[in-house]
């Protein structure tokens, strides 16, 4: 029997697991890793079922017919060169994913900039973490979702979760919440729905969708009024306090109650609880996937800084990552504005550094592109061909019907996947690639811990790997440029990644696969092999020019699409326990169906019962879904899980002005009898 210690292929908790090859098939077993301590959710337990799934692709497809790899590569290169000749190098775009390994993310960014010479590359993580990343970077000078280990949560006196339903989305995470409550801690959960996480909390705050920003401003107003601000921390470790203090003066409790619907007494309880002992504030997609997501996270960071939390032992502020490599996926160069090591692509020093690593001139590196939704919106006009790796935008992009039309308008679409996802079904060429248990690599979990994914077996015959695809296409497209090299071996790519990130914000120079194996992962930054990683950040200073965190004044503003007489209800989207992201993997293992959750009072007003087929209609699209009645949701709001085709035809493409994050979490809809 062969077995390896590895990690779950799905979410950012990256639970440790054992994989065993038995005569009866591949079996998942528990593994005592520091984050999940043996626990797995149903997605993890069933992850191996996809490895030998009958719907798995076995050969490349050209126009739907089976083809050889050489035919597929030749056609891709011919089309790329032709489109580049007839348009420009920016006529080709690349779309990546937050589930790809660090090695793949790095190679994808290099492939786009060096082999294709295009500025158009972005990825589906823009839909998840970009608002948290932008707010953390502008405040702290660095974006690592959790700047402290998960284990710290269990010891907090007060824990505040805003827009996070970890009990359902990451069940093994819940043990930290349970431990914290059992230790006498106070837990406050902010969510428009009484989720399993909210129901377990000491206090559930149930705001009107799109009003978390006002909530944060109101809490800081109370902290100022009641003398809860840590003046010595604010004076010694931050800048910008006076403007922020002046900015919250207008958010008195009664006004915030009117905006958010949260009673004044609950606002006061929350502000006071955050000042008692050790406190930690965590935001997630519920607060971030808005057209004001960056300002919302900034408002909670301001609150945390005013209370003296970031960098204080046992306290802190963090943002929860969702996708498997949501953290590493945003560090190594698949974002439109970024080079590896979390460097900016418009920084001359960063360009010079990367040009040296890549063996090209700095002025050969293209400039910044545009964000994921904006890039998809250019398909068929500026962009004629798209290469997709590890993503399924037909299901996961907002305003999805429009995006599907855009994909259909391309001259040429290539998708690398292991099943025929909804996006792959539209492709001119589909390349079948290995799954997580068939290749080595590294991921960076939600704590910033670099971990090792280990292969249990080789890919089946005829199946490639993402790295091999990039290496082969890179070699064919870079002919004549002998200084440029694309490797398909993940450990060699990781060595190049170490050199590339050296000196950057996300510095992996001291991380080796051997260290990761020996130390249960290594926390970045880790600038040299003789230095330990950094589990806790900001203990003595922030990585800003003056070493202080920056407090940024922000203002509440309405959602991009308010309810009105025609579309009188808020729609909010989110996840369910059984599914991961666009569901391309999990829907094939744990088939279940879309539903629309609504309050019984709303259902009775509209004449719906449990299971009634309902049309959910927005300005962009509509879906048919059975009604699911639950008193856990506000009567003015309905909920639908986004894992299923169609749900994102409803959602709004309104973008945050800074992060370019779409407003997935709220749009206006109406319900009709089917
Ligand atoms: Fe753990 Fe997430 Fe995998 Fe579930 S999906 S087993 S929580 S890593």
Q: What is the pLDDT of residues 185-222, one digit of tens each?
A: 999 999 999 999 999 999 999 999 899 999 999 999 99
By the 10 Å C-beta count (0-12 exposed, 13-18 middle, 19+ buried), 615 is classed as middle
pLDDT at 167 over 90: yes
Mutate to test the pocket of ligand 1, among 12, 14, 15, 171 (most ligand atoms within 8 A of CB): 15
Tell me how far apart the alpha carbons of residues 27 and 4 are, in angstroms, rounded to a whole number.
Answer: 11
pLDDT at 89 over 70: yes
pLDDT confidence tier of residue 512, bands split at 50, 70 and 90 = very high
Contact (CB, 8 A) for 109 and 306: no
State both tokens at 210: 């799109």
Read off φ and ψ for residue 497, nearest 5 degrees.
-60, -40
Q: Average the pLDDT over 487-512 and give the result.
A: 97
Distance 41 CA to ligand 1 centre (A): 5
Quick one: pLDDT at residue 583?
A: 82
Classify strands 158-162 and 429-432 as parallel, antiparallel or unpaired.
unpaired
Quick one: pLDDT at residue 269?
A: 98
Contact (CB, 8 A) for 237 and 549: yes
pLDDT at 590 over 90: no
pLDDT confidence tier of residue 320, bands split at 50, 70 and 90 = very high
- Report which protein residue has its CA nearest ligand 1's atom 4: 41
Distance 370 CA to ligand 1 centre (A): 31
Distance 53 CA to ligand 1 centre (A): 20
pLDDT at 1 over 80: no
Tell me how far apart the alpha carbons of residues 418 and 215 are, in angstroms, rounded to a whole number.
Answer: 43
C-beta 28 within 6 A of ligand 1 = no
Tell me how far apart the alpha carbons of residues 55 and 317 are, in angstroms, rounded to a whole number.
Answer: 43
Mutate to test the pocket of ligand 1, among 6, 7, 10, 323 (most ligand atoms within 8 A of CB): 10
667: closest CA among 557, 556, 559, 558? 559
C-beta 215 within 6 A of ligand 1 = no
Quick one: pLDDT at residue 374?
A: 96
Average pLDDT, the chain: 95
- Give the SS3 label for residue 462: coil
Quick one: pLDDT at residue 355?
A: 97
C-beta 39 within 6 A of ligand 1 = no
pLDDT at 70 over 70: yes
- Give the SS3 label for residue 69: helix
Tell me how far apart the alpha carbons of residues 32 and 479 are, in angstroms, rounded to a whole number.
Answer: 47
| Alpha helices for 333-425 (secondary structure H) | 348-358, 372-377, 393-396, 400-408
Quick one: pLDDT at residue 484?
A: 85
Contact (CB, 8 A) for 157 and 179: no
pLDDT at 579 over 90: no
Q: Average the pLDDT over 534-553 and give the result.
A: 97
Distance 589 CA to ligand 1 centre (A): 15
User: Of all residues in the chain, what percent carry a pLDDT higher than 90?
Assistant: 91
State both tokens at 237: 């470790």
Quick one: pLDDT at residue 504?
A: 96
**Long-range pairs of 486-492 with CB within 8 A, sequence gap ≥ 24:** 486/107, 486/110, 486/111, 486/115, 487/107, 490/101, 490/103, 490/439, 490/440, 490/441, 490/442, 491/440
Quick one: pLDDT at residue 573?
A: 93
Q: How many CB atoms lie within 10 A of CB 536?
A: 15
Atom of ligand 1 nearest to the CA of 11: 2
234-254 residue pLDDT tens: 999 999 999 999 999 999 999
Tell me how far apart the alpha carbons of residues 329 and 101 are, in angstroms, rounded to a whole number.
Answer: 7
End-to-end CA distance of the chain: 53
State both tokens at 360: 């090209």
Read off φ and ψ for residue 587, nearest 5 degrees.
-65, -20
Q: Average the pLDDT over 82-109 and give the result.
A: 97
Quick one: pLDDT at residue 589?
A: 87
Q: Crossing angle, helix 253-260 and helix 212-225, to 10 degrees?
A: 160
324-354 residue pLDDT tens: 999 999 999 999 999 999 999 999 999 999 9
Which residues make Cβ contacts (< 8 Å) with residue 44, sequence separation at least 6? 8, 10, 15, 17, 28
Q: How many CB atoms lie within 10 A of CB 122?
A: 27
State both tokens at 33: 């890793």
426-472 residue pLDDT tens: 999 999 999 999 999 999 999 999 999 999 999 999 999 999 999 99
Q: Average the pLDDT over 127-148 and give the result.
A: 95
DSSP, residue by residue, 152-206: GGGG-SEEEEES--HHHHSGGGHHHHHHHHHTT-EEEEE-SB--HHHHHSSEEE-
pLDDT confidence tier of residue 642, bands split at 50, 70 and 90 = confident
Q: How many CB atoms lie within 10 A of CB 232?
A: 9
Read off φ and ψ for residue 394, nearest 5 degrees.
-60, -30
pLDDT at 639 over 80: yes
Q: Average the pLDDT over 410-426 and give the result.
A: 97
Quick one: pLDDT at residue 16?
A: 97
Q: Average the pLDDT over 374-382 and give the result.
A: 97
Q: Average the pLDDT over 644-670 and give the result.
A: 93
pLDDT confidence tier of residue 591, bands split at 50, 70 and 90 = confident
C-beta 13 within 6 A of ligand 1 = yes
Quick one: pLDDT at residue 252?
A: 98
pLDDT at 29 over 80: yes
pLDDT at 493 over 70: yes
pLDDT at 606 over 90: yes
- Tell the residue number behind the tokens 């004549």, with chain if given: 480
Q: Average the pLDDT over 598-626 and give the result.
A: 96
Tell me how far apart the alpha carbons of residues 164 and 183 are, in angstroms, rounded to a whole number.
Answer: 21
State both tokens at 650: 């409803």
pLDDT at 479 over 80: no
- Report which protein residue has its CA nearest ligand 1's atom 2: 11
pLDDT at 480 over 70: no
C-beta 323 within 6 A of ligand 1 = no
Quick one: pLDDT at residue 576?
A: 82
Atom of ligand 1 nearest to the CA of 47: 3
Contact (CB, 8 A) for 68 and 410: no
């Amino acid at each position: 029997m062969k077995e390896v210690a590895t990690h779950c292929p799905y979410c950012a908790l990256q639970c440790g697991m054992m994989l065993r090859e038995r005569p009866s098939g591949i079996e998942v077993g528990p593994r005592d890793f520091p984050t999940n301590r043996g626990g797995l959710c149903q997605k993890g337990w069933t992850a191996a079922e996809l490895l030998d799934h009958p719907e798995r692709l076995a050969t490349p497809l050209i126009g739907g017919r089976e083809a050889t790899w050489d035919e597929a590569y030749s056609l891709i290169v011919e089309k790329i060169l032709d489109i580049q000749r007839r348009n420009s190098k920016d006529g080709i775009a690349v779309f990546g994913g937050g589930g790809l390994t660090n090695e793949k993310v790095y190679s994808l960014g290099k492939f786009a900039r060096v082999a294709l010479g295009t500025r158009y590359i972005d990825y589906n993580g823009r839909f998840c973490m970009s608002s948290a990343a932008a707010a953390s970077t502008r405040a702290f000078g660095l974006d690592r979702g959790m700047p402290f280990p998960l284990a710290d949560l269990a010891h907090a006196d007060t824990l505040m979760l805003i827009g996070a339903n970890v009990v359902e989305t990451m069940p093994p995470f819940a043990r930290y919440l349970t431990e914290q409550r059992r230790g006498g801690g106070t837990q406050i959960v902010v969510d428009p729905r009484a989720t399993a996480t909210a129901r377990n909390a000491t206090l559930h705050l149930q705001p009107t969708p799109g009003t978390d920003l006002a909530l944060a401003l109101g809490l800081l107003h109370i902290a100022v009024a009641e003398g809860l601000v840590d003046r010595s921390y604010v004076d010694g470790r931050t800048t910008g306090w006076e403007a922020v203090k002046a900015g919250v003066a207008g958010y008195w409790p009664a006004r915030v109650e009117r905006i958010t619907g949260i009673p004044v007494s609950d606002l006061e309880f929350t502000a006071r609880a955050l000042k008692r002992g050790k406190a930690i504030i965590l935001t997630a997609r519920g607060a971030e996937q808005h057209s004001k997501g960056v300002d919302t996270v900034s408002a909670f960071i301001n609150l945390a800084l005013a209370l003296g939390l970031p960098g204080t032992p046992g306290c802190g502020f963090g943002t929860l990552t969702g996708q498997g490599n949501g953290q590493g996926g945003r560090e190594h160069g698949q974002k439109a504005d970024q080079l590896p090591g979390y460097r900016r692509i418009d920084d001359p020093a960063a360009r010079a550094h990367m040009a040296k690593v890549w063996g090209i001139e700095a002025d050969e590196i293209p400039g910044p592109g545009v964000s994921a939704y904006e890039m998809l919106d250019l398909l068929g006009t500026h962009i004629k061909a798209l290469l997709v790796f590890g993503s399924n935008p037909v299901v996961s992009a907002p305003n999805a019907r429009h995006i599907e039309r855009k994909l259909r308008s391309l001259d040429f679409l290539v998708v690398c996947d292991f099943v025929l996802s909804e996006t792959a079904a539209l492709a001119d060429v589909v390349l079948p690639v290995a799954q997580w248990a068939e290749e080595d690599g590294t991921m960076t979990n939600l704590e910033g811990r670099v971990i090792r994914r280990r292969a249990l077996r080789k890919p089946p015959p005829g199946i490639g790997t993402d790295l091999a695809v990039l290496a082969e296409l890179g070699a064919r497209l870079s002919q004549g440029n002998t200084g440029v090299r694309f490797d398909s071996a993940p450990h060699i790519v990781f060595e190049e990644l170490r050199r590339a990130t050296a000196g950057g914000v996300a510095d992996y120079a001291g991380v080796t696969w051997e260290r990761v194996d020996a130390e249960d992962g290594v926390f970045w930054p880790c600038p040299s092999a003789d230095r330990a990683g950094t589990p806790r950040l900001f203990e003595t200073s922030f990585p800003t020019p003056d070493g202080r965190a920056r407090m940024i004044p922000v203002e509440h503003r309405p959602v991009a699409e308010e309810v009105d007489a025609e579309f009188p209800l808020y729609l909010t989207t989110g996840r369910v326990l059984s599914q991961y992201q666009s569901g391309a993997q999990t829907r094939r293992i744990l088939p279940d169906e879309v539903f629309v959750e609504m309050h019984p009072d709303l259902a009775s007003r509209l004449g719906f019962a449990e299971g009634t087929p309902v049309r959910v209609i927005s300005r962009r699209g509509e879906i048919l879904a059975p009604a699911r009645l639950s008193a856990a949701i506000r009567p003015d709001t309905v909920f639908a899980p986004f894992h299923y085709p169609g749900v994102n035809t409803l959602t709004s493409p309104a973008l945050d002005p800074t992060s370019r994050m779409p407003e997935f979490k709220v749009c206006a809809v109406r319900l009709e009898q089917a």
